[in-house]
Amino acid sequence: MKALPLLVPDEEGSTLCTIHRKSDGKVEDSLDPDALRKAFTSGEGTLWVDLDASDPAQASLLKDVFNFHPLAIEDALNPNSRVKVDEYPTFLLVIARVVSFADSTPDPYDLDTANLTMFITKNAVITTHLQNLPIIQTLVSQLRANPDLLERGPARIAHFVLDGAVDAYFPVLDQLDEFVDEIEERVFGRFDEELLQEIFKVKRLVISLRRFLAPQRDVLSQLTMRPSPFLPLEAQIYFRDVHDHMLRITDSLDSYRDLLSSTLDAYLTQVSNRLGYVSKALATVGAVSVPFVVVAGVYGMNFEKIPLAHHPYGFEIMVGFQVALAVLFIVALKQKKML
C-alpha cells in the first residue's frame, strides 16, 4: 500500500481548526481569536488548535494570541528546522517529520517530507505545519466525532499526533518491501543489466529514511525518559509505545539495508560470472584456432620443399590434420578441467 501524499489540496482554502473542552464537559468549536485567547489564558479544560503556518494570519496567532517565544515561532515557521524537543518555561516544543512518497515526480523513489510542530502547554496543544497533512485531518475528524478525547489532557493529544506521524512510515516500509522483492526477482530470476542503478536508488532511499528517523528516535527517547511538567508520568507510557514503533521501523530499515547489500553482492557476482563465461568462450575460440594458425603459418613460408605441396589431396590432408590437432587440444583442456 502506498503512503498518502503529504500535500493535500484544499479547495476551500485554509481553515483554522480549534476545539476546546471545558472542565464541565462543554465543547466549543471554531473559536475566533478573542475566544481563543480567553480559552488559552484561562487554563480551563483542554484546548487543541491546528494552525496552517503557510497562512500569515494563522501564523501570527503564535505570537499575538499564544505569546510563544520568538525562537520557537521561528522554528515552527522554518520548513528546514531539525527534528528536536525544547522545553521553555511555559511550554514544550516538539518538532517531528512526516515522510511519504512523492506523487509529483516521475521517480518512484522520491520522498516528500514535512515538519510537524507541536506546542504543548499544561492545558493546550497547538500544532502547526506548512502543508496540509492527512494525519492532522484524521485527528481533526476523531476529535470532532469524539470531543471527550480531550478529557485525557494535552499530553495524550500530543501522543495521538506523534503516533500518527510515526505510523505514516509503515506504508512507506510496505512500498519499500515491494521494491526489494522486485529487485531480488530481477537479480535471481532474470538478469537485468540496468539493475545496478535501481539497487543504488533503493539503497539511497533506505539511507534517507534512516537519516529522517535518527533524530526523531532521539526526540521520542527524551519524551519517554526525561521528566517534564507538561508530560505527566502516566502519559509518558504512551510515548514509549510510539518509541517502540520507531525502533521497529529502524530495525526494518537495517534489515532492508543488509538485504540490499547482499543483493548487490549477488548482482556483482553474476556480472563476474557472466564475464568469466565470455572470457572462457573467447579462450576456447583462441585455443581451437591455434593449430590452424601454426600450420598455416608454417606452410606459408617461402621454401621449395614443403611436405604435400604437390600432393593431389595435400590441402584436404592438412585441413584434416589441423582439425585433429584442435580436437586433441580441446580434449586435453577438458581432461585438465580447464574448459
Q: How far apart are CA 233 and CA 242, in angstroms?
A: 15
pLDDT value, residue 75: 93
Domain count, the chain: 2
Note whether 204 and 326 are same-domain residues. Answer: no
What does the DSSP assignment read for 37-56?
HHHHHH--SEEEEEEETTSH
Helix (H, G, I), strand (E, B) or coil at 268: helix
CATH of the domain at 330: 1.20.58
pLDDT value, residue 317: 77
Note whether 196 and 284 are same-domain residues. Answer: no
Count CB atoms within 10 A of the CB of residue 27.
14
Q: Which of 142, 141, 115 is nearest to 127 (CA)?
A: 115
CATH of the domain at 57: 3.30.460.20
Q: Assess contact for 106 and 99: CB atoms under 8 A.
A: no
- Of 269, 289, 315, the last residue of a domain is 269
Orientation of helix 169-188 relative to helix 233-299, angle to 10°: 20
Note whether 111 and 164 are same-domain residues. Answer: yes
Q: How far apart are CA 5 and CA 102, in angstroms?
A: 7
For residue 25, is it left (φ>0), alpha (ψ between -120 and 50) or beta? left
Note whether 110 and 172 are same-domain residues. Answer: yes
Q: What is the pLDDT of residues 283-317, one digit of tens each?
A: 777 777 777 777 777 666 666 666 766 777 777 77
Q: What is the pLDDT of residues 126-155, one digit of tens each?
A: 999 988 888 888 888 888 888 778 888 898
Residue ranges in the chain modelled with pLDDT below 70: 1-15, 189-193, 298-306, 308-309, 336-339
Distant-in-sequence, close-in-space partners of 160: CB < 8 Å, separation ≥ 6: 139, 142, 149
Domain enclosing residue 209, as ranges: 17-269
Note whether 40 and 86 are same-domain residues. Answer: yes
The DSSP 8-state label assigned to residue 262 in this structure reads: H
- 223 within a domain of the structure (yes/no): yes
252 burial (CB, 10 Å; 0-12 / 13-18 / 19+) is middle
Note whether 303 and 199 are same-domain residues. Answer: no
Cell 606452410 appears where? Answer: 299
pLDDT value, residue 301: 63
Distances (CA, A) of 44 to 87, 118, 120, 187, 318: 22, 19, 15, 62, 110
- 10 within a domain of the structure (yes/no): no
- 11 within a domain of the structure (yes/no): no
- Of 269, 291, 306, the last residue of a domain is 269
Distances (CA, A) of 64 to 59, 176, 260, 319: 9, 44, 51, 101
Cell 476529535 appears where? Answer: 143
Note whether 166 and 90 are same-domain residues. Answer: yes
Q: How far apart are CA 138 and CA 145, in angstroms?
A: 11
As given in the structure block, the three cell numbers for residue 194 are 540496468
Note whether 238 and 295 are same-domain residues. Answer: no
- Of 269, 294, 322, the last residue of a domain is 269
Note whether 315 and 253 are same-domain residues. Answer: no
